[in-house]
Amino acid sequence: MAKHRGGTDGAALREGLVVASHGRHCIVETAEGERVICHPRGKKSQAVVGDRVQWQASEDEGTIEKVLPRSNLFYRQDEIRTKSFAANLDQVLILIAAEPEFSESQLARALIAAEAEHITPVIALNKRDLATAFARAWERLAPYRGMNYQVLPLALRATDAADRDALTGLLTGKTTLVLGPSGAGKSTLINLLVPGASAQTGEISQALNSGKHTTTTTTWYWMDKKSDTALIDSPGFQEFGLHHIEAMQLARLMPDIAEHATECKFYNCTHLHEPGCGVIAQVESGAISPSRYRIYGELFAELSQTRY
């Protein structure tokens, strides 16, 4: 578990991996597997889970001196603040459930955020054992399967070997952020794939929050002893702001809209009202689902508002 350091190791910088964060504090794992509580130098917290950092031992803990270049950063941004989930990801596993009914708008927003950072998204639909609700939810996901998103059916409360094997095959050798609303079964999935995850989460939460247990910690778990397969568990979310994306960039980040956006009469078409719009034509023909087009319109309006 993470240690508070006593004494100094000299001025040399060491490299490590951020494996947990809460507020301004984080836990850095060294190449030898030691975990050290660290804080950023200066006032601003910049390191997120998944970051490779250079850190220096200090008398009590450690100080992060530099965040090394990232391949990507998965985050959301509303009018007031930015919430960074994790960095240097191979994929995002978006876990939703047949019950409670998932928000298609939330799902679309998470997919757009992944597309913007060139991170592969995978959709997992849980509670396959609830036959009627699952069939309804699976049908709602038809447009996403049509866009060639991988959609994985799961029954985590009645998991058989096939489900575990499918998940393991999907995750092996990669760093995956598991994202989803409360009630989708995220904790069940983590505990299924990472034995002892609950105890580890409690220890990390207490270390980062002065002894208080918290569920707001983003945590990195190794799935194997070779340390080449990782799951990152992030707290559930209610809102997913996309204010870091320009309205006119939105179409290219939604595959079903992007497919027909080049068929428009005007090069700067918003795909909302212009004559000769290829997207509107496909909506009218039924090739683009009404719910997806409604979400596009709502997001375009949201992202078009004046930014201060």
Q: Tell me which residue of 232, 193, 233 sits closest to 215, measured CA to CA.
A: 233
Cα–Cα distance measured from residue 23 to residue 21, given in angstroms and rounded to the nearest whole number: 7
Residue 98, both tokens: 């047949």
**Rounded (5°) CA angle 229-231-237:** 160
Residue 185 counted as an annotated binding residue? yes
Could you tell me the two tokens for 99? 């019950």
Q: Is 277 annotated as a binding residue?
A: yes
- Is the separation of the CB atoms in 157 and 142 below 8 Å? no
Distances 125 to 9, 12, 93, 99, 151 between C-alpha atoms, Å: 48, 47, 10, 10, 7
**Among candidates 250, 228, 232, which has minimal Cα distance to 297?**
250
Q: In which residue are the tokens 């983003």 written?
A: 218
Give the residue carrying structure tokens 């027909």.
260
Establish whether 26 is an annotated binding residue: no
The annotation status of 187 as a binding-site residue, yes or no, is yes
Residue 148 assigned ligand-binding role: no
Compute CA 256 distance to the chain's CA centroid, rounded to the nearest angstrom.
21
**296, 109 contact by CB (below 8 A):** no
Q: Is 88 annotated among the ligand-binding residues?
A: no
DSSP 307: P
Q: Confirm whether residue 23 is marked as ligand binding.
A: no
Residue 81: count of CB within 10 angstroms of its CB:
9
Tell me if residue 65 falls in helix, strand or coil. strand
Q: How far is it, in rounded angstroms, from Cα 144 to Cα 152?
A: 12
User: In b/e form, how buried is each residue of 106-116, taking b as 16+ CB within 10 angstroms?
Assistant: bbbbbbbbbbb
Q: State yes or no: 129 annotated in a binding site.
A: yes
Whether 183 has a binding-site annotation, put simply, is yes
- Find out whether 184 is annotated in a ligand binding site: yes
Is 188 assigned a ligand-binding role in the annotation?
yes
Instruction: Confirm whether residue 168 is marked as ligand binding.
Output: no
As annotated, the binding site includes 126-129, 180-188, 264, 269, 271, 277
As annotated, the binding site for GTP includes 126-129, 180-188
As annotated, the binding site for Zn(2+) includes 264, 269, 271, 277
